[in-house]
Amino acid sequence: MPRRISFCLFVFLLFTVAANAADDNFAETIKKDFQEHTEYADKNESEAVKQRLEIIAIDRFADWKQAAEQGMPEGQVLLCVCYHYGVRVPEDQEESVKWLRKAAEQGLVRAQALLGQCYFYGEVVAEDHAEAFKWWQKAAEQGDAHVQFGLAKCYYEGDGVLEDKEEAVKWWRKSAEQGFVGAQIELGQCYYKGDGVPKDEEEAFRWLRTAVGQDHAAAQYLFAMFYFRGVGIPENKEEAVKWLHKSAEQGFADAQLVLGQCYYEGEGVPEDVKEAIKWLCKAAEQGNGNAQMLLTNLAGQLRDAAEEGNADAQDLLAHFYHGGIGVTEDKEEAVIWFRKAAEQGHASAQRSLGGCYCDGECVPEDKEEGVKWIRKAADQNNADAQFHLGRCYTAGVGVPEDEEEGVKWLRKAAEQEHAKAQYFLGLAYYHGVGLPEDKEEGVKWIRKAVGQNDPDALFALGCCYRQGSGVLVDVEEAVKWWRKAAELGHVEAQYNLGGCYSEGNGVEADKAMAIFWWRKAAEQGLAEAQAALNPPKKTMADLLKEMAAGREKMEGQAKKKDDTPATKTSKSAEMMNEGISTDSSLFNGLSLPSLGVVK
Protein backbone atom coordinates (compact mmCIF):
# COMPACT_ATOMS: atom_id res chain seq x y z
CA MET A 1 0.00 0.00 0.00
CA PRO A 2 2.75 2.57 0.78
CA ARG A 3 4.35 1.82 -2.62
CA ARG A 4 1.00 2.52 -4.32
CA ILE A 5 0.70 5.83 -2.45
CA SER A 6 4.28 6.74 -3.40
CA PHE A 7 3.58 5.98 -7.05
CA CYS A 8 0.41 8.12 -6.99
CA LEU A 9 2.33 10.93 -5.35
CA PHE A 10 5.04 10.65 -8.00
CA VAL A 11 2.45 10.89 -10.80
CA PHE A 12 0.83 13.89 -9.09
CA LEU A 13 4.17 15.67 -8.74
CA LEU A 14 5.03 14.87 -12.36
CA PHE A 15 1.80 16.43 -13.58
CA THR A 16 2.34 19.44 -11.28
CA VAL A 17 5.82 20.07 -12.66
CA ALA A 18 4.54 19.71 -16.23
CA ALA A 19 1.68 22.13 -15.53
CA ASN A 20 4.05 24.66 -13.97
CA ALA A 21 6.39 24.36 -16.96
CA ALA A 22 3.46 24.90 -19.32
CA ASP A 23 2.41 27.98 -17.31
CA ASP A 24 5.96 29.34 -17.46
CA ASN A 25 6.12 28.79 -21.22
CA PHE A 26 2.73 30.47 -21.64
CA ALA A 27 3.86 33.50 -19.63
CA GLU A 28 7.15 33.78 -21.51
CA THR A 29 5.32 33.60 -24.86
CA ILE A 30 2.95 36.39 -23.81
CA LYS A 31 5.88 38.54 -22.67
CA LYS A 32 7.64 37.90 -25.96
CA ASP A 33 4.49 38.90 -27.91
CA PHE A 34 4.27 42.08 -25.84
CA GLN A 35 7.94 42.94 -26.37
CA GLU A 36 7.76 42.35 -30.13
CA HIS A 37 4.58 44.43 -30.41
CA THR A 38 6.15 47.28 -28.40
CA GLU A 39 9.30 47.35 -30.50
CA TYR A 40 7.30 47.26 -33.73
CA ALA A 41 4.88 49.97 -32.59
CA ASP A 42 7.77 52.28 -31.68
CA LYS A 43 9.27 52.03 -35.18
CA ASN A 44 6.28 51.94 -37.53
CA GLU A 45 3.20 53.90 -38.52
CA SER A 46 -0.14 53.18 -36.88
CA GLU A 47 -1.60 51.57 -40.02
CA ALA A 48 1.32 49.13 -40.29
CA VAL A 49 0.96 48.28 -36.59
CA LYS A 50 -2.72 47.49 -37.08
CA GLN A 51 -2.01 45.32 -40.14
CA ARG A 52 0.62 43.31 -38.27
CA LEU A 53 -1.71 42.91 -35.28
CA GLU A 54 -4.52 41.63 -37.52
CA ILE A 55 -2.29 38.89 -38.91
CA ILE A 56 -0.70 37.79 -35.61
CA ALA A 57 -3.96 37.93 -33.68
CA ILE A 58 -5.46 35.21 -35.88
CA ASP A 59 -3.41 32.65 -33.93
CA ARG A 60 -2.58 34.55 -30.73
CA PHE A 61 -5.69 36.50 -29.67
CA ALA A 62 -7.19 33.70 -27.55
CA ASP A 63 -3.96 33.45 -25.54
CA TRP A 64 -3.77 37.22 -25.07
CA LYS A 65 -7.33 37.30 -23.79
CA GLN A 66 -6.67 34.40 -21.44
CA ALA A 67 -3.49 36.06 -20.14
CA ALA A 68 -5.30 39.35 -19.60
CA GLU A 69 -8.12 37.68 -17.68
CA GLN A 70 -5.56 35.82 -15.56
CA GLY A 71 -4.02 39.17 -14.57
CA MET A 72 -0.88 39.24 -16.73
CA PRO A 73 -0.17 42.96 -17.43
CA GLU A 74 1.50 42.21 -20.79
CA GLY A 75 -1.61 40.32 -21.92
CA GLN A 76 -3.78 43.18 -20.67
CA VAL A 77 -1.88 45.67 -22.85
CA LEU A 78 -2.15 43.39 -25.89
CA LEU A 79 -5.90 43.07 -25.31
CA CYS A 80 -6.09 46.85 -24.84
CA VAL A 81 -4.45 47.33 -28.25
CA CYS A 82 -6.88 44.88 -29.88
CA TYR A 83 -9.85 46.85 -28.55
CA HIS A 84 -8.18 50.09 -29.66
CA TYR A 85 -7.81 48.92 -33.28
CA GLY A 86 -10.89 46.67 -33.38
CA VAL A 87 -8.81 43.54 -34.04
CA ARG A 88 -10.73 40.27 -33.35
CA VAL A 89 -13.17 42.31 -31.22
CA PRO A 90 -15.38 45.31 -32.00
CA GLU A 91 -13.47 48.58 -31.60
CA ASP A 92 -14.17 49.87 -28.08
CA GLN A 93 -11.93 52.64 -26.75
CA GLU A 94 -13.43 52.56 -23.24
CA GLU A 95 -12.78 48.82 -22.97
CA SER A 96 -9.29 49.49 -24.29
CA VAL A 97 -8.56 51.99 -21.50
CA LYS A 98 -10.06 49.62 -18.91
CA TRP A 99 -7.46 46.95 -19.71
CA LEU A 100 -4.72 49.55 -19.97
CA ARG A 101 -5.54 50.78 -16.46
CA LYS A 102 -5.40 47.22 -15.10
CA ALA A 103 -1.87 46.83 -16.50
CA ALA A 104 -0.81 50.27 -15.23
CA GLU A 105 -2.05 49.49 -11.72
CA GLN A 106 0.23 46.44 -11.73
CA GLY A 107 3.22 48.68 -12.46
CA LEU A 108 3.85 47.93 -16.14
CA VAL A 109 5.83 50.96 -17.37
CA ARG A 110 4.44 50.94 -20.89
CA ALA A 111 0.88 50.93 -19.57
CA GLN A 112 1.58 53.75 -17.10
CA ALA A 113 3.10 55.87 -19.86
CA LEU A 114 0.17 55.29 -22.22
CA LEU A 115 -2.45 55.89 -19.52
CA GLY A 116 -0.72 59.16 -18.67
CA GLN A 117 -0.92 60.08 -22.34
CA CYS A 118 -4.66 59.35 -22.37
CA TYR A 119 -5.20 61.75 -19.46
CA PHE A 120 -2.87 64.42 -20.86
CA TYR A 121 -4.61 64.61 -24.25
CA GLY A 122 -8.11 63.67 -23.08
CA GLU A 123 -8.19 60.49 -25.15
CA VAL A 124 -11.30 58.49 -24.08
CA VAL A 125 -10.95 59.84 -20.52
CA ALA A 126 -11.51 63.44 -19.42
CA GLU A 127 -8.38 65.59 -19.90
CA ASP A 128 -6.60 65.81 -16.54
CA HIS A 129 -2.96 66.88 -16.56
CA ALA A 130 -2.52 66.25 -12.84
CA GLU A 131 -3.66 62.65 -13.32
CA ALA A 132 -1.37 62.35 -16.37
CA PHE A 133 1.53 63.62 -14.26
CA LYS A 134 0.76 61.01 -11.58
CA TRP A 135 1.03 58.10 -14.01
CA TRP A 136 4.08 59.52 -15.79
CA GLN A 137 5.83 59.96 -12.46
CA LYS A 138 5.26 56.28 -11.67
CA ALA A 139 6.78 55.28 -15.02
CA ALA A 140 9.64 57.79 -14.73
CA GLU A 141 10.62 56.46 -11.31
CA GLN A 142 11.05 53.04 -12.93
CA GLY A 143 13.65 54.54 -15.27
CA ASP A 144 11.78 55.05 -18.56
CA ALA A 145 13.86 57.71 -20.38
CA HIS A 146 11.04 58.84 -22.67
CA VAL A 147 8.65 59.38 -19.79
CA GLN A 148 11.37 61.09 -17.76
CA PHE A 149 11.70 63.57 -20.62
CA GLY A 150 7.93 64.25 -20.58
CA LEU A 151 7.86 64.56 -16.80
CA ALA A 152 10.63 67.16 -16.97
CA LYS A 153 8.54 69.16 -19.47
CA CYS A 154 5.65 69.13 -16.99
CA TYR A 155 7.90 70.53 -14.24
CA TYR A 156 9.47 73.09 -16.59
CA GLU A 157 6.11 74.43 -17.84
CA GLY A 158 4.14 73.90 -14.61
CA ASP A 159 1.75 71.58 -16.43
CA GLY A 160 -0.09 69.28 -14.02
CA VAL A 161 2.34 70.20 -11.24
CA LEU A 162 3.85 73.39 -9.78
CA GLU A 163 6.57 74.85 -12.01
CA ASP A 164 10.00 73.77 -10.78
CA LYS A 165 12.87 74.25 -13.23
CA GLU A 166 15.43 72.59 -10.96
CA GLU A 167 13.26 69.48 -10.78
CA ALA A 168 12.86 69.66 -14.56
CA VAL A 169 16.64 69.68 -14.98
CA LYS A 170 16.92 66.70 -12.62
CA TRP A 171 14.61 64.57 -14.76
CA TRP A 172 16.08 65.78 -18.05
CA ARG A 173 19.49 64.80 -16.77
CA LYS A 174 18.26 61.29 -15.87
CA SER A 175 16.79 60.92 -19.35
CA ALA A 176 19.80 62.48 -21.10
CA GLU A 177 22.23 60.17 -19.32
CA GLN A 178 20.29 57.24 -20.81
CA GLY A 179 20.91 58.68 -24.28
CA PHE A 180 17.48 60.24 -24.93
CA VAL A 181 18.29 62.92 -27.51
CA GLY A 182 15.39 65.26 -26.73
CA ALA A 183 16.51 65.47 -23.10
CA GLN A 184 20.10 66.14 -24.17
CA ILE A 185 18.90 69.10 -26.25
CA GLU A 186 16.72 70.50 -23.46
CA LEU A 187 19.48 70.09 -20.89
CA GLY A 188 21.89 71.91 -23.21
CA GLN A 189 19.45 74.78 -23.57
CA CYS A 190 18.96 74.95 -19.79
CA TYR A 191 22.71 75.40 -19.34
CA TYR A 192 22.76 78.00 -22.12
CA LYS A 193 19.91 80.03 -20.57
CA GLY A 194 20.74 79.35 -16.93
CA ASP A 195 17.31 77.75 -16.33
CA GLY A 196 17.33 75.51 -13.26
CA VAL A 197 21.14 75.42 -13.31
CA PRO A 198 23.88 78.07 -13.29
CA LYS A 199 24.53 79.38 -16.83
CA ASP A 200 27.40 77.40 -18.37
CA GLU A 201 27.91 77.74 -22.13
CA GLU A 202 30.63 75.11 -22.30
CA GLU A 203 28.36 72.56 -20.59
CA ALA A 204 25.55 73.58 -22.93
CA PHE A 205 27.82 72.95 -25.92
CA ARG A 206 28.87 69.57 -24.48
CA TRP A 207 25.28 68.31 -24.25
CA LEU A 208 24.41 69.51 -27.75
CA ARG A 209 27.53 67.83 -29.10
CA THR A 210 26.30 64.60 -27.50
CA ALA A 211 22.88 65.06 -29.14
CA VAL A 212 24.21 65.70 -32.65
CA GLY A 213 26.01 62.36 -32.44
CA GLN A 214 22.53 60.82 -32.87
CA ASP A 215 21.93 62.64 -36.18
CA HIS A 216 19.05 64.67 -34.73
CA ALA A 217 18.00 67.58 -36.98
CA ALA A 218 16.99 70.03 -34.20
CA ALA A 219 20.22 69.30 -32.32
CA GLN A 220 22.25 69.91 -35.49
CA TYR A 221 20.49 73.25 -36.00
CA LEU A 222 21.15 74.43 -32.45
CA PHE A 223 24.73 73.16 -32.64
CA ALA A 224 25.19 75.25 -35.80
CA MET A 225 23.83 78.36 -34.07
CA PHE A 226 26.32 77.84 -31.23
CA TYR A 227 29.14 77.91 -33.81
CA PHE A 228 27.62 81.01 -35.44
CA ARG A 229 27.48 82.90 -32.15
CA GLY A 230 30.59 81.44 -30.55
CA VAL A 231 28.66 79.90 -27.64
CA GLY A 232 30.90 77.58 -25.61
CA ILE A 233 33.24 77.37 -28.61
CA PRO A 234 35.12 79.91 -30.77
CA GLU A 235 32.94 81.40 -33.55
CA ASN A 236 33.24 79.41 -36.80
CA LYS A 237 30.73 80.24 -39.55
CA GLU A 238 32.06 77.58 -41.95
CA GLU A 239 31.53 74.87 -39.32
CA ALA A 240 28.10 76.36 -38.60
CA VAL A 241 27.09 76.04 -42.26
CA LYS A 242 28.26 72.42 -42.29
CA TRP A 243 25.84 71.55 -39.46
CA LEU A 244 23.06 73.67 -40.99
CA HIS A 245 23.37 71.55 -44.13
CA LYS A 246 23.00 68.34 -42.11
CA SER A 247 19.87 69.65 -40.40
CA ALA A 248 18.37 71.24 -43.52
CA GLU A 249 18.81 68.04 -45.52
CA GLN A 250 16.69 66.27 -42.90
CA GLY A 251 13.92 68.80 -43.56
CA PHE A 252 14.31 71.06 -40.51
CA ALA A 253 12.65 74.30 -41.66
CA ASP A 254 14.55 76.72 -39.37
CA ALA A 255 17.85 75.31 -40.62
CA GLN A 256 16.68 75.66 -44.23
CA LEU A 257 15.77 79.30 -43.60
CA VAL A 258 19.12 80.19 -42.02
CA LEU A 259 21.05 78.22 -44.63
CA GLY A 260 19.24 80.15 -47.37
CA GLN A 261 20.19 83.41 -45.68
CA CYS A 262 23.82 82.26 -45.45
CA TYR A 263 23.97 81.59 -49.19
CA TYR A 264 22.25 84.86 -49.99
CA GLU A 265 24.57 86.94 -47.80
CA GLY A 266 27.73 84.86 -48.30
CA GLU A 267 28.03 83.98 -44.59
CA GLY A 268 30.26 80.94 -44.10
CA VAL A 269 29.85 80.00 -47.80
CA PRO A 270 30.43 81.80 -51.12
CA GLU A 271 27.42 83.91 -52.11
CA ASP A 272 25.04 81.85 -54.29
CA VAL A 273 21.58 83.28 -54.99
CA LYS A 274 20.27 80.10 -56.66
CA GLU A 275 21.29 77.96 -53.69
CA ALA A 276 19.76 80.55 -51.35
CA ILE A 277 16.47 80.39 -53.24
CA LYS A 278 16.51 76.58 -53.16
CA TRP A 279 16.73 76.46 -49.37
CA LEU A 280 14.35 79.35 -48.78
CA CYS A 281 11.80 77.59 -51.01
CA LYS A 282 12.14 74.39 -48.99
CA ALA A 283 11.52 76.31 -45.77
CA ALA A 284 8.60 78.24 -47.32
CA GLU A 285 6.98 74.99 -48.50
CA GLN A 286 6.81 73.96 -44.83
CA GLY A 287 4.98 77.18 -43.98
CA ASN A 288 7.94 79.13 -42.60
CA GLY A 289 6.67 82.72 -42.69
CA ASN A 290 10.10 84.34 -42.60
CA ALA A 291 11.20 82.35 -45.66
CA GLN A 292 8.02 83.30 -47.52
CA MET A 293 8.56 86.98 -46.71
CA LEU A 294 12.20 86.87 -47.86
CA LEU A 295 11.19 85.25 -51.16
CA THR A 296 8.54 87.91 -51.78
CA ASN A 297 11.11 90.65 -51.19
CA LEU A 298 13.60 88.84 -53.41
CA ALA A 299 11.04 88.57 -56.23
CA GLY A 300 10.69 92.36 -56.24
CA GLN A 301 14.46 92.85 -56.39
CA LEU A 302 14.74 90.35 -59.25
CA ARG A 303 12.08 92.15 -61.30
CA ASP A 304 13.97 95.43 -60.97
CA ALA A 305 17.19 93.79 -62.17
CA ALA A 306 15.42 91.79 -64.91
CA GLU A 307 13.82 94.90 -66.37
CA GLU A 308 17.29 96.44 -66.57
CA GLY A 309 18.35 93.51 -68.79
CA ASN A 310 20.22 91.33 -66.30
CA ALA A 311 20.01 87.80 -67.79
CA ASP A 312 20.60 86.00 -64.46
CA ALA A 313 17.77 88.00 -62.88
CA GLN A 314 15.51 87.29 -65.88
CA ASP A 315 16.13 83.54 -65.55
CA LEU A 316 15.49 83.54 -61.81
CA LEU A 317 12.37 85.70 -62.17
CA ALA A 318 11.07 83.24 -64.77
CA HIS A 319 11.52 80.41 -62.26
CA PHE A 320 9.69 82.46 -59.62
CA TYR A 321 6.71 82.93 -61.96
CA HIS A 322 6.84 79.31 -63.11
CA GLY A 323 6.72 77.94 -59.55
CA GLY A 324 4.70 80.69 -57.87
CA ILE A 325 7.67 81.62 -55.64
CA GLY A 326 7.12 84.99 -53.95
CA VAL A 327 4.63 85.89 -56.73
CA THR A 328 1.38 84.52 -58.12
CA GLU A 329 2.12 81.59 -60.44
CA ASP A 330 2.04 82.69 -64.08
CA LYS A 331 3.62 80.27 -66.56
CA GLU A 332 3.04 82.55 -69.56
CA GLU A 333 4.98 85.31 -67.79
CA ALA A 334 7.65 82.74 -67.00
CA VAL A 335 8.09 81.88 -70.70
CA ILE A 336 8.46 85.58 -71.53
CA TRP A 337 11.35 85.96 -69.09
CA PHE A 338 12.94 82.61 -70.06
CA ARG A 339 12.97 83.83 -73.69
CA LYS A 340 14.51 87.21 -72.79
CA ALA A 341 17.34 85.50 -70.90
CA ALA A 342 17.75 82.72 -73.50
CA GLU A 343 18.14 85.25 -76.31
CA GLN A 344 21.02 86.76 -74.32
CA GLY A 345 22.71 83.35 -74.33
CA HIS A 346 21.81 82.33 -70.77
CA ALA A 347 22.30 78.52 -70.73
CA SER A 348 19.86 77.70 -67.91
CA ALA A 349 17.14 79.80 -69.56
CA GLN A 350 17.82 78.11 -72.90
CA ARG A 351 17.39 74.71 -71.27
CA SER A 352 14.11 75.83 -69.64
CA LEU A 353 12.75 77.41 -72.82
CA GLY A 354 13.58 74.21 -74.71
CA GLY A 355 11.64 72.24 -72.12
CA CYS A 356 8.62 74.52 -72.58
CA TYR A 357 8.61 73.85 -76.33
CA CYS A 358 9.06 70.08 -75.87
CA ASP A 359 6.17 69.96 -73.40
CA GLY A 360 3.98 72.54 -75.16
CA GLU A 361 3.87 74.60 -71.98
CA CYS A 362 2.42 78.07 -72.75
CA VAL A 363 3.84 77.78 -76.30
CA PRO A 364 2.73 75.50 -79.15
CA GLU A 365 4.42 72.11 -78.76
CA ASP A 366 7.42 71.94 -81.09
CA LYS A 367 9.97 69.29 -80.15
CA GLU A 368 12.40 70.33 -82.90
CA GLU A 369 12.38 73.91 -81.57
CA GLY A 370 12.75 72.54 -78.06
CA VAL A 371 15.80 70.49 -78.98
CA LYS A 372 17.29 73.55 -80.74
CA TRP A 373 17.27 75.54 -77.48
CA ILE A 374 18.39 72.57 -75.38
CA ARG A 375 21.36 72.06 -77.75
CA LYS A 376 22.38 75.72 -77.33
CA ALA A 377 22.53 75.18 -73.57
CA ALA A 378 24.29 71.81 -73.91
CA ASP A 379 26.97 73.42 -76.09
CA GLN A 380 27.61 75.77 -73.17
CA ASN A 381 28.30 72.75 -70.95
CA ASN A 382 24.99 72.94 -69.06
CA ALA A 383 24.78 69.46 -67.51
CA ASP A 384 21.00 69.30 -67.34
CA ALA A 385 20.72 70.28 -71.00
CA GLN A 386 23.33 67.67 -71.94
CA PHE A 387 21.33 65.05 -70.07
CA HIS A 388 18.06 65.94 -71.81
CA LEU A 389 19.74 66.16 -75.21
CA GLY A 390 21.14 62.68 -74.65
CA ARG A 391 17.68 61.39 -73.77
CA CYS A 392 16.21 63.01 -76.88
CA TYR A 393 18.75 61.21 -79.08
CA THR A 394 18.27 57.80 -77.42
CA ALA A 395 14.49 58.07 -77.79
CA GLY A 396 14.38 59.93 -81.12
CA VAL A 397 12.48 62.94 -79.75
CA GLY A 398 12.88 66.08 -81.84
CA VAL A 399 15.87 64.51 -83.61
CA PRO A 400 16.45 61.23 -85.48
CA GLU A 401 17.17 58.39 -83.03
CA ASP A 402 20.94 58.01 -82.57
CA GLU A 403 21.97 55.89 -79.59
CA GLU A 404 25.69 56.63 -79.89
CA GLU A 405 25.07 60.40 -80.00
CA GLY A 406 22.69 60.06 -77.08
CA VAL A 407 25.25 58.22 -74.96
CA LYS A 408 27.87 60.84 -75.86
CA TRP A 409 25.73 63.60 -74.30
CA LEU A 410 24.73 61.45 -71.33
CA ARG A 411 28.41 60.88 -70.60
CA LYS A 412 29.16 64.62 -70.74
CA ALA A 413 26.44 65.27 -68.14
CA ALA A 414 27.38 62.25 -66.01
CA GLU A 415 30.98 63.44 -65.80
CA GLN A 416 29.62 66.68 -64.34
CA GLU A 417 28.00 64.64 -61.53
CA HIS A 418 24.46 64.87 -62.95
CA ALA A 419 22.73 62.07 -61.02
CA LYS A 420 20.11 61.17 -63.63
CA ALA A 421 22.73 61.17 -66.37
CA GLN A 422 24.88 58.81 -64.31
CA TYR A 423 21.88 56.52 -63.83
CA PHE A 424 20.95 56.47 -67.53
CA LEU A 425 24.57 56.03 -68.60
CA GLY A 426 24.65 53.05 -66.25
CA LEU A 427 21.54 51.64 -67.98
CA ALA A 428 23.14 52.21 -71.38
CA TYR A 429 26.18 50.14 -70.36
CA TYR A 430 23.96 47.55 -68.67
CA HIS A 431 21.79 47.02 -71.77
CA GLY A 432 24.45 47.73 -74.39
CA VAL A 433 22.76 50.80 -75.90
CA GLY A 434 25.04 52.98 -78.02
CA LEU A 435 28.11 51.16 -76.74
CA PRO A 436 29.17 47.55 -76.00
CA GLU A 437 27.26 45.89 -73.15
CA ASP A 438 29.24 45.99 -69.88
CA LYS A 439 27.19 45.22 -66.81
CA GLU A 440 30.04 45.87 -64.36
CA GLU A 441 30.58 49.33 -65.87
CA GLY A 442 26.82 49.85 -65.80
CA VAL A 443 26.71 49.11 -62.08
CA LYS A 444 29.64 51.49 -61.53
CA TRP A 445 27.68 54.43 -63.01
CA ILE A 446 24.44 53.42 -61.30
CA ARG A 447 26.34 53.37 -58.01
CA LYS A 448 27.56 56.94 -58.65
CA ALA A 449 23.92 58.06 -58.93
CA VAL A 450 23.13 56.08 -55.78
CA GLY A 451 25.74 58.21 -54.02
CA GLN A 452 23.47 61.17 -54.79
CA ASN A 453 20.43 59.33 -53.40
CA ASP A 454 18.68 59.06 -56.77
CA PRO A 455 15.57 56.86 -56.22
CA ASP A 456 15.71 55.23 -59.68
CA ALA A 457 19.36 54.34 -59.18
CA LEU A 458 18.68 52.93 -55.72
CA PHE A 459 15.99 50.70 -57.19
CA ALA A 460 18.21 49.64 -60.10
CA LEU A 461 21.11 48.73 -57.81
CA GLY A 462 18.74 46.56 -55.78
CA CYS A 463 17.70 44.79 -59.00
CA CYS A 464 21.35 44.19 -59.92
CA TYR A 465 22.01 42.55 -56.55
CA ARG A 466 18.83 40.47 -56.76
CA GLN A 467 19.60 39.23 -60.26
CA GLY A 468 23.39 38.95 -59.85
CA SER A 469 24.01 41.21 -62.86
CA GLY A 470 27.27 43.13 -62.67
CA VAL A 471 27.58 42.11 -59.02
CA LEU A 472 27.30 38.86 -57.07
CA VAL A 473 23.78 37.84 -56.05
CA ASP A 474 23.00 39.23 -52.59
CA VAL A 475 19.31 39.31 -51.71
CA GLU A 476 19.85 41.11 -48.39
CA GLU A 477 21.79 43.83 -50.21
CA ALA A 478 18.97 44.06 -52.76
CA VAL A 479 16.46 44.57 -49.95
CA LYS A 480 18.68 47.28 -48.44
CA TRP A 481 18.67 49.36 -51.64
CA TRP A 482 15.00 48.72 -52.41
CA ARG A 483 14.13 49.91 -48.91
CA LYS A 484 16.04 53.17 -49.43
CA ALA A 485 14.26 53.73 -52.75
CA ALA A 486 10.88 52.77 -51.28
CA GLU A 487 11.29 55.26 -48.44
CA LEU A 488 11.82 57.95 -51.09
CA GLY A 489 8.50 56.96 -52.71
CA HIS A 490 9.78 54.80 -55.57
CA VAL A 491 6.71 52.77 -56.49
CA GLU A 492 8.43 49.71 -58.03
CA ALA A 493 10.77 49.50 -55.05
CA GLN A 494 7.77 49.58 -52.70
CA TYR A 495 6.21 46.71 -54.62
CA ASN A 496 9.39 44.61 -54.63
CA LEU A 497 10.00 45.29 -50.93
CA GLY A 498 6.48 44.07 -50.22
CA GLY A 499 7.28 40.88 -52.15
CA CYS A 500 10.43 40.35 -50.08
CA TYR A 501 8.46 40.65 -46.84
CA SER A 502 5.72 38.40 -48.20
CA GLU A 503 8.07 35.54 -49.02
CA GLY A 504 10.90 36.16 -46.57
CA ASN A 505 13.46 36.95 -49.29
CA GLY A 506 16.44 38.78 -47.79
CA VAL A 507 14.37 39.78 -44.77
CA GLU A 508 12.32 37.99 -42.13
CA ALA A 509 8.85 37.22 -43.49
CA ASP A 510 6.31 39.74 -42.22
CA LYS A 511 2.87 39.74 -43.89
CA ALA A 512 1.92 43.03 -42.23
CA MET A 513 4.96 44.81 -43.69
CA ALA A 514 4.29 43.20 -47.07
CA ILE A 515 0.77 44.64 -47.05
CA PHE A 516 2.09 48.00 -45.82
CA TRP A 517 4.49 48.41 -48.78
CA TRP A 518 2.06 46.98 -51.34
CA ARG A 519 -0.54 49.51 -50.19
CA LYS A 520 2.00 52.30 -50.62
CA ALA A 521 2.61 51.14 -54.19
CA ALA A 522 -1.09 50.57 -54.87
CA GLU A 523 -1.89 54.12 -53.72
CA GLN A 524 0.40 55.30 -56.52
CA GLY A 525 -1.63 53.23 -58.99
CA LEU A 526 0.72 50.27 -59.56
CA ALA A 527 -1.48 47.47 -60.93
CA GLU A 528 0.86 44.69 -59.71
CA ALA A 529 0.58 45.96 -56.14
CA GLN A 530 -3.20 46.21 -56.38
CA ALA A 531 -3.29 42.61 -57.62
CA ALA A 532 -1.01 41.48 -54.78
CA LEU A 533 -3.42 43.00 -52.26
CA ASN A 534 -6.43 41.39 -53.93
CA PRO A 535 -5.29 38.08 -55.42
CA PRO A 536 -7.97 36.21 -57.39
CA LYS A 537 -9.28 33.05 -55.75
CA LYS A 538 -7.91 29.94 -57.44
CA THR A 539 -10.30 27.32 -58.71
CA MET A 540 -9.52 23.60 -58.82
CA ALA A 541 -8.93 23.97 -62.55
CA ASP A 542 -6.28 26.66 -61.84
CA LEU A 543 -4.52 24.40 -59.33
CA LEU A 544 -4.51 21.47 -61.75
CA LYS A 545 -3.15 23.72 -64.49
CA GLU A 546 -0.34 24.93 -62.18
CA MET A 547 0.53 21.34 -61.26
CA ALA A 548 0.68 20.36 -64.94
CA ALA A 549 2.84 23.36 -65.75
CA GLY A 550 5.19 22.48 -62.88
CA ARG A 551 5.58 18.90 -64.16
CA GLU A 552 6.22 20.16 -67.68
CA LYS A 553 8.90 22.55 -66.43
CA MET A 554 10.66 19.81 -64.46
CA GLU A 555 10.57 17.43 -67.44
CA GLY A 556 12.01 20.07 -69.71
CA GLN A 557 14.91 21.08 -67.47
CA ALA A 558 17.20 18.44 -68.97
CA LYS A 559 16.22 19.27 -72.55
CA LYS A 560 17.28 22.13 -74.73
CA LYS A 561 14.68 24.70 -75.51
CA ASP A 562 13.02 24.93 -78.91
CA ASP A 563 15.72 25.46 -81.56
CA THR A 564 13.45 27.67 -83.62
CA PRO A 565 15.21 31.05 -83.83
CA ALA A 566 13.38 33.89 -82.17
CA THR A 567 12.27 36.84 -84.26
CA LYS A 568 15.03 39.42 -84.07
CA THR A 569 14.23 42.78 -82.60
CA SER A 570 16.39 45.85 -82.09
CA LYS A 571 18.15 46.40 -78.78
CA SER A 572 16.07 49.55 -78.27
CA ALA A 573 12.84 47.60 -78.81
CA GLU A 574 13.96 44.93 -76.35
CA MET A 575 14.71 47.62 -73.79
CA MET A 576 11.42 49.39 -74.38
CA ASN A 577 9.56 46.11 -73.81
CA GLU A 578 11.49 45.05 -70.72
CA GLY A 579 9.40 45.21 -67.58
CA ILE A 580 7.82 42.60 -65.35
CA SER A 581 10.00 39.57 -64.66
CA THR A 582 8.33 36.22 -65.25
CA ASP A 583 10.97 34.20 -63.41
CA SER A 584 9.37 32.89 -60.22
CA SER A 585 12.79 32.85 -58.55
CA LEU A 586 12.59 36.65 -58.62
CA PHE A 587 9.23 36.44 -56.85
CA ASN A 588 7.67 38.29 -59.81
CA GLY A 589 9.45 41.46 -58.79
CA LEU A 590 9.82 44.46 -61.08
CA SER A 591 13.19 44.30 -62.81
CA LEU A 592 15.85 46.77 -63.92
CA PRO A 593 14.27 49.30 -66.30
CA SER A 594 15.29 50.20 -69.83
CA LEU A 595 16.24 53.66 -71.09
CA GLY A 596 12.54 54.08 -71.86
CA VAL A 597 11.09 57.28 -73.22
CA VAL A 598 11.88 60.90 -72.54
CA LYS A 599 10.08 62.30 -69.52
Q: Are 475 and 587 in contact (CB under 8 A)?
A: no
Distance CA 281, CA 264 (A): 13
Distance CA 103, CA 138 (A): 13
Distance CA 442, CA 425 (A): 7
pLDDT at 255: 97
Best CA proximity match to 175, nearest among 161, 186, 190: 186
- Within 13 Å and on the Cβ side, how many CA atoms surround 473? 7
pLDDT at 23: 64
- Within 13 Å and on the Cβ side, how many CA atoms surround 382? 22
Distance CA 67, CA 60 (A): 11
pLDDT at 538: 61
Listing DSSP states for 259-277 in one string gives HHHHHHHTSSS---HHHHH
- Beta-carbon contacts of 379 under 8 Å, excluding residues fewer than 6 positions away, are none
Amino acid at 536: P
145-157 and 129-141 helices, crossing angle to 10°: 140
Question: Which sign does the torsion angle of CA 43, 489, 591, 474 carry?
Answer: negative
Q: Are 78 and 34 in contact (CB under 8 A)?
A: yes
* Mean pLDDT, each 10-residue run in order, the chain (599 residues): 51 49 80 93 86 89 96 96 95 96 96 95 94 95 95 94 96 96 96 95 94 93 94 94 96 96 95 94 95 94 96 95 94 96 97 96 95 97 97 95 96 98 96 95 97 96 94 96 96 96 93 90 94 77 65 54 38 33 36 46
First to last CA, the chain: 94
Best CA proximity match to 148, nearest among 128, 175, 121: 175
- By the 10 Å C-beta count (0-12 exposed, 13-18 middle, 19+ buried), 328 is classed as exposed
User: Cβ–Cβ contacts within 10 Å for residue 435, how many?
Assistant: 16
- DSSP-derived letter for residue 580 is B
DSSP reduced 3-state for 78: helix
Residues linked to residue 590 through DSSP beta bridges, in sequence order: 580
- Max alpha carbon distance in the chain (Å)? 118
- Beta-carbon contacts of 346 under 8 Å, excluding residues fewer than 6 positions away, are 311, 312, 314, 315
Distance CA 348, CA 336 (A): 14
Q: Which domains are assigned to the chain?
A: 13-106 (no CATH), 293-380 (1.25.40.10)
